[in-house]
Amino acid sequence: MNRFNITKLDNGIKVITEHIPYVESFSLGFWLNVGSRDELKKNNGISHFIEHMLFKGTKKRNAKKIADDIESLGGYLNAFTSKEHTCFYGRGLNKHLKKTFEVLADMLQNPLLKSRDIKKEASVIIDELNDIKDSPEELIFDEFENNIYHKNSLGRPIIGNEKNISSFTAEDLVKFIDEQYGFNKLFIVASGNINHLDIIKLTEKYITKNFGHKKNNRRPIKFNGHENKFLQKEIQQSHVILGLPTYGVKDKERIPMSLISHILGEGSSSRLFQSLRERNGIAYQINTFLNSFFDVSSFGIYYSTNDRNVNKAQHLIGKEFAKLKTKRISDKELKRAKEYLKGNIILSLESTTNRMLRIAQSMIYLNRIKSLEETIFEIDSVTPDNILDYANRSLNFEKFNKVEISSKNGILN
């Protein structure tokens, strides 16, 4: 039996499995290549709203029974919405694969979408939105991407806004599903001690609704210029992100960018952690991030500090970028970054759920399963000269976007 198997069914659904014979469990995901990027301004948040509503009952099950049917078997059911896809997934013991598949298929095809449930769930999601607004360390990431992807759907928050959330109707949800959910956008992915042919048979048996074939109307990113952004809130610390858009998932330059992110701000040995926290004691939180999409990624440095230390922190960060562009990184430091990145990837693969996530994203973005060996080879192939060249071509610190949330009055520097 092959470890990985991929089958495209006649109706367009792709079934992808990874057979792991030594585990007693599975992770199963129903992935739709649909997310908030596919929304309009007037219905922003609807993908996430639909994700919630699919758990609220079907023609066969109410919300409690959806949970009970899986949890009573020792399993787990969940979902998430991103800017580019939506995933409904379950975990369980091998012998309960059929039941988990049937419940997920029922949720996807037969949601009731009752008006009273929609109204109730709108209140829940607005509470979720308010939690984000009350948490500057969460809110600032939405504000940052809204800033760098200004006037693009990728810049809108996944959760939407209160006006939209409060106004969604069953007709709105059905219309979006009919327009966006297609067999050609559906990926059924499983990892664990499962049989590929069994997943195909379950798909053919339980996916009975005809979703048809839907066009991908996703628009490419157009950068419209930007301005630095300042938000004032009643908080104790200033929260800041400095960053810019960079290469997407499919671009070969993303690997050097990922290593630069690790060198600068991931882990306690990173340059920015050592500079801001250890040597200068001015930031408890300091880290870099790389949020990747099909054609672009968001790279940034996030830190929180006392209001009076914001500019000092920015100056220290600028010095580290200047070093990166003028001084060749040592083989030792680059090796440490490579081992950190490879270690994170390999350790994550001890979970069948993470394996399922990795396989699905590889298929959605690359239309193939990118092997771990290929990823490791790409990481190991990066040289100090690659890092220096990339930093000089792509990381002009003076042109970084700045988003700040603070209690102080003033103008961004």
Instruction: Give the CATH number for residue 148.
Output: 3.30.830.10
According to DSSP, residue 330 is labeled P
- Is pLDDT above 90 for 411? no
Sign of CA dihedral 263, 265, 267, 271: positive
239, 201: one domain: no
- How many separate domains does the chain show? 2
Q: Which of 342, 273, 334 is CA-nearest to residue 301?
A: 273
Q: Please tell me the distance from the alpha carbon of residue 168 to that of residue 263, in angstroms, as a whole number.
A: 44
Confidence of residue 227 (pLDDT cuts 50, 70, 90): confident
282 belongs to a structural domain: yes
Q: Is 51 a catalytic residue?
A: yes
148, 279: one domain: no
Range 330-333 contact pairs with CB under 8 angstroms and sequence separation of 24 or more: 330/384, 331/384, 333/263
Determine the structural domain holding residue 262 and report its residue range. Answer: 229-406
The residue from 51, 143, 320, 404 that is catalytic is 51
Summary mean pLDDT of the chain: 95
Tens of pLDDT, residues 287-333: 999 999 999 999 999 999 999 999 999 999 999 999 999 999 999 99
Residue 132, classed as helix, strand or coil, is helix
The residue that leads in pLDDT, 217 or 175, is: 175
The pLDDT value given to residue 413? 45
Confidence of residue 412 (pLDDT cuts 50, 70, 90): very low
The pLDDT value given to residue 75? 97
The b/e string for 256-282 (b: 16+ C-beta within 10 A; e otherwise) is: bbbbbbbbbbbeeebbbbebbbeeeeb
384, 289: one domain: yes
Average pLDDT over residues 83-107: 98
Q: Please tell me the distance from the alpha carbon of residue 195 to that of residue 101, in angstroms, as a whole number.
A: 13
Percent of the chain with pLDDT over 70: 99
236 belongs to a structural domain: yes
The pLDDT value given to residue 409? 62
Kindly report which listed range (46-50, 78-82, 218-222) carries the lowest average pLDDT score.
Answer: 218-222
User: For residues 86, 79, 160 and 37, what is the CA-based torsion angle, rounded to 10 degrees?
Assistant: -10
Final residue in a domain of this structure, among 141, 172, 206? 206
Confidence of residue 1 (pLDDT cuts 50, 70, 90): low
220 belongs to a structural domain: no
- Is pLDDT above 80 for 11? yes
139 belongs to a structural domain: yes
Average pLDDT over residues 166-192: 98
Q: Please tell me the distance from the alpha carbon of residue 237 to that of residue 228, in angstroms, as a whole number.
A: 19
178, 266: one domain: no
Average pLDDT over residues 46-74: 97
70, 202: one domain: yes
120, 42: one domain: yes
